[in-house]
């Protein structure tokens, strides 16, 4: 079995605008090993989130290939994309994106259900993860009853529930105060270590970037290792 | 467990199990539940009342008019057809031909004119065996004595329908004159008068029948009717008139004298039954259209829900939900909306149907009250007061509307409603399933 969790080759993406065609990604390539943690930085609007969306199968590249384990992400059907997102990937966004009508516990359990995990097993995993992020006393609270930091911690727990091989975090601490930001960093990195998951963090926070194994900078549509 | 996600999401779309918040889409879904429920009320009421009325009228027709089966010689090949004594002998024989036969009554029936102090009226003169009366006045019978002495008419007596008695002004003890037509061997037709004492006034509960019937005893008075202008037959009664009567008919056909034939009540009343069923189907179709319109509300409420829930749909997709999971959740939401409507509308419809007589009576009182009030306010002394409003004229319907609850039909209505609610959800469901998560997440 290959130790490469993710391999990007010459990924390009353009967005047409009124004045010109914006070339956001221009032959971006990357190879990520199991358990490896990298941070990607770059100026605002340089394409960091677009790159993460393409890796997450939320967006499609104009050219290039993305191989994640057995998934050829650039060419997956809707059905396989759903399977890829539920079984291989854990996504954390800048905004928590919890479902408002579901409790914290249910929000964390949902991806497990989608991956075909039994209810009992999903419940155990969700409770354990919520305890790991310090929310064991908030299991049945709805997102509107949680603070901003608590919501983001619940979102991290949700991303981890299917024990993904690859975690993508798009400025996960962007909306948080320093104390909560630090807690989220700890949770993300320790969870990645515990599950031997690879982690890609897009961040503007130098402190967070410094905790990664490697730092990449997105420059003129390409990933440059710092 | 993927189905569990759809079920859970569908329930939350309906606001079940989540914190109470009434968004516009959720209000629309609640409105759609109410729409389905309200449209089911007249559907159930019409179904139950129509079934009851058809069964009530059919019951009266087969018990009081056609019999469960009729044995007759319409070809004229048999001597017994015009001979009252021979027909009575055959009647006595019939129970031996089939074990399913409970009773039989010979009858000669023809047209005539009934004349009383208030006037005259065309009538159906029926010379019937005593067996007819013992059945019809029994606990399960359909004849109710309004006035006079119970039991079958004796020689020189007649039993008449309530409406006929009212029309020609007759009461028990009065003399009724009957005018019939007799044809001589040369073919000349002459009127023949007969006078009888009214023994009793009866009602079948169906005024159309009560306005026509004059009963006289078969044994002594069948001669009032000319065998050439009247028709003679034997009404056969079984234990299960609504069951399959073809077996009894076949047994009878194998044993009857030449010329006699046997008909089931369904054959004899085919056109009337078809008319009832056509009316019933038309009414149900109109009610079904109302239900369809209510179902369109489900669809539009779900479209609104899709628009309102785009963010949640995007989140679910981003964490691994398949488009079919999302679509299925919306079909389920439509199903639950229909279920809510069924749970609310079915009992309410049954309640209305069970109390339909009281509801009509109440509505008549209200309408008459309004009409009377309007008359009192605006009338001149010379104008006549308005006629009383009758929503269902008893001249054409059974006096009390019978109600018949058929569990199978109610199940069918419930299942049809749920199916319809699910079907109309397919379009919004497909739309939800095809939502692009990134488009939405970028806008949040």
Option in B17, B321, B323 nearest A114 (CB): B321
Q: Would you place residue A1 in the very low, low, confident or very high pLDDT band (cuts 50, 70, 90)?
A: very low
Is a pLDDT exceeding 70 seen at residue B79? Answer: no
Determine, for residues A53 and B438 on separate chains, whether the beta-carbon distance falls below 8 Å.
Answer: yes
User: What pLDDT, in 10s, does the model give residues B133-162?
Assistant: 888 876 667 888 899 988 889 989 999 999
Length of chain A: 226
According to the 3-state scheme, what is the secondary structure of B136-153?
HCCCCCCCEEEEECCCCC
- The closest alpha carbon to A157, from A196, A88, A111, A203, belongs to A111
Q: For chain A, how many helices (H) and strands (E)?
A: 7, 10
Is a pLDDT exceeding 70 seen at residue A73? Answer: yes
Q: Round to whole Å and give the CA distance between A174 and B165.
A: 95
What does the DSSP 8-state code read for residue B129? Answer: -
Residue B432 vs residue B58, higher pLDDT: B432
Option in B315, B320, B441 nearest A115 (CB): B320
Residue A10's Cβ-count burial label (10 Å; 0-12, 13-18, 19+) is middle
Measured between beta carbons, which residues in chain B are less than 8 angstroms from residue A111? Answer: 319-320
Minimal Cα–Cα distance from A103 to chain B, Å?
A: 8
- Whether the CB-CB separation of A161 and A185 falls below 8 Å is answered with no
Measured between beta carbons, which residues in chain B are less than 8 angstroms from residue A119? Answer: 1, 4
Determine, for residues A114 and B2 on separate chains, whether the beta-carbon distance falls below 8 Å.
Answer: yes
Residue B353's Cβ-count burial label (10 Å; 0-12, 13-18, 19+) is buried
- In total, the C-beta contacts within 8 angstroms joining chain A to chain B are 86
Closest residue, chain A, to B21 (C-alpha):
A101
Q: Choose, out of A59, A97, A117, A123, the residue to mutate when testing the contact with B (most B CBs < 10 Å).
A: A97
* Maximum Cα–Cα distance across chain A: 55
Does A116 contact B at CB distance below 8 Å? yes
Dihedral of alpha carbons A142, A148, A152, A154, sign: negative
Beta-sheet pairing, B101-116 with B175-183:
antiparallel
User: What pLDDT, in 10s, does the model give residues B300-318?
Assistant: 999 999 998 898 899 999 9
- Placement of tokens 């069918």 in the chain: B412
When the pLDDT of each residue in chain B is averaged and rounded to a whole number, the result is: 85
Measured between beta carbons, which residues in chain A are less than 8 angstroms from residue B5? Answer: 110, 113-114
ipTM score here? 0.89
Give the mean model confidence (pLDDT) for residues B61-83. 79
Closest residue, chain B, to A140 (C-alpha):
B18
Is a pLDDT exceeding 80 seen at residue A164? Answer: yes
- The closest alpha carbon to B399, from B110, B93, B18, B60, belongs to B60
**pTM score:** 0.74
Is a pLDDT exceeding 90 seen at residue B243? Answer: no
Give the mean model confidence (pLDDT) for residues B39-56. 83
Option in A79, A91, A95 nearest B322 (CB): A79
Minimal Cα–Cα distance from A83 to chain B, Å?
A: 6
Residues 132-191 of A with CB under 8 A from B: 142, 144, 158, 162
Measured between beta carbons, which residues in chain A are less than 8 angstroms from residue B434? Answer: none
């Amino acid at each position: 079995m290959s130790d490469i969790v993710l391999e990007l080759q010459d990924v390009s993406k353009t967005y047409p605008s009124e004045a010109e065609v914006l070339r956001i990604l221009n032959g971006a390539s990357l190879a990520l090993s199991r358990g490896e943690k990298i941070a990607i930085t770059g100026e605002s609007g340089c394409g960091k989130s677009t790159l993460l969306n393409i890796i997450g199968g939320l967006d499609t590249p104009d050219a290039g290939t993305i191989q994640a384990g057995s998934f050829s992400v650039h060419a997956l059907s809707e059905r396989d994309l759903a399977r890829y997102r539920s079984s291989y990937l854990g996504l954390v966004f800048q905004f928590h994106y919890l479902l408002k009508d579901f409790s914290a516990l249910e929000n964390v359990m949902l991806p497990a259900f989608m991956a075909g995990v039994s209810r009992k097993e999903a419940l155990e995993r969700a409770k354990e993860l919520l305890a790991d992020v310090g929310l064991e006393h908030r299991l049945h609270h709805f997102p509107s009853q949680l603070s901003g930091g608590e919501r983001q911690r619940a979102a991290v727990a949700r991303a981890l529930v299917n024990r993904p091989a690859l975690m993508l975090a798009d400025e996960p601490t962007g909306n948080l105060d320093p104390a909560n930001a630090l807690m989220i960093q700890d949770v993300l990195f320790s969870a990645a270590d515990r599950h031997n998951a690879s982690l890609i963090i897009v961040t503007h926070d130098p402190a967070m970037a410094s905790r990664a194994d490697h730092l990449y900078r997105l420059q003129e549509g390409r990933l440059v290792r710092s | 467990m993927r189905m569990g996600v759809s079920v859970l999401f569908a329930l939350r779309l309906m606001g079940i199990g989540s914190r109470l918040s009434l968004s516009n889409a959720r209000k629309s879904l609640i409105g759609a539940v109410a729409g389905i429920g309200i449209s089911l009320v007249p559907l159930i009421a019409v179904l139950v009342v129509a079934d009851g009325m058809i069964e009530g009228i059919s019951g009266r027709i087969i018990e009081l008019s056609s019999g469960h089966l009729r044995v007759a010689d319409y070809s004229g090949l048999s001597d017994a057809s015009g001979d009252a004594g021979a027909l009575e002998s055959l009647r006595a024989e019939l129970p031996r031909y089939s074990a399913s036969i409970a009773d039989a009554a010979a009858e000669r029936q023809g047209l005539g004119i009934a004349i009383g102090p208030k006037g005259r009226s065309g009538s159906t003169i029926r010379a019937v065996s005593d067996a007819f009366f013992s059945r019809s006045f029994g606990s399960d019978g359909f004849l109710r004595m309004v006035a006079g002495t119970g039991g079958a008419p004796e020689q020189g007596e007649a039993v008449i329908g309530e409406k006929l008695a009212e029309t020609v002004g007759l009461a028990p003890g009065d003399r009724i004159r009957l005018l019939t037509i007799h044809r001589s061997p040369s073919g000349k037709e002459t009127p023949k008068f007969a006078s009888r004492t009214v023994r009793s006034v009866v009602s079948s509960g169906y005024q159309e029948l009560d306005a026509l019937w004059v009963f006289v005893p078969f044994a002594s008075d069948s001669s009032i009717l000319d065998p050439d202008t009247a028709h003679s037959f034997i009404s056969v009664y079984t234990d299960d008139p609504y069951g399959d009567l073809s077996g009894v008919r076949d047994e009878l056909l194998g044993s009857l004298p030449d010329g006699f034939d046997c008909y089931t009540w369904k054959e004899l009343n085919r056109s009337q039954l078809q008319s009832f069923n056509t009316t019933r189907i038309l009414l149900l179709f109109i009610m079904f259209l109302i239900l369809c319109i209510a179902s369109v509300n489900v669809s539009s409420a779900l479209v609104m829900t899709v628009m309102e829930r785009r963010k949640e749909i995007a989140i679910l997709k981003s964490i691994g939900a398949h488009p079919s999971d999302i679509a299925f959740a919306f079909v389920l939401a439509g199903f639950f909306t229909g279920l809510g409507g069924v749970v609310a509308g079915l009992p309410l419809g049954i309640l209305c149907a069970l109390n339909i007589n009281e509801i009509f009576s109440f509505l008549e009182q209200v309408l008459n009250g309004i009409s009377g009030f309007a008359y009192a306010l605006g009338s001149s002394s010379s104008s006549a007061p308005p006629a009383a409003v009758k929503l269902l004229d008893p001249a054409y319907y059974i006096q009390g509307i019978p109600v018949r609850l058929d569990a199978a039909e109610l199940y069918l209505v419930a299942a049809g409603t749920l199916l319809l609610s699910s079907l109309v959800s397919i379009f919004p469901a497909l739309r939800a399933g095809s939502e692009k998560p990134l488009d939405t997440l970028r806008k949040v």
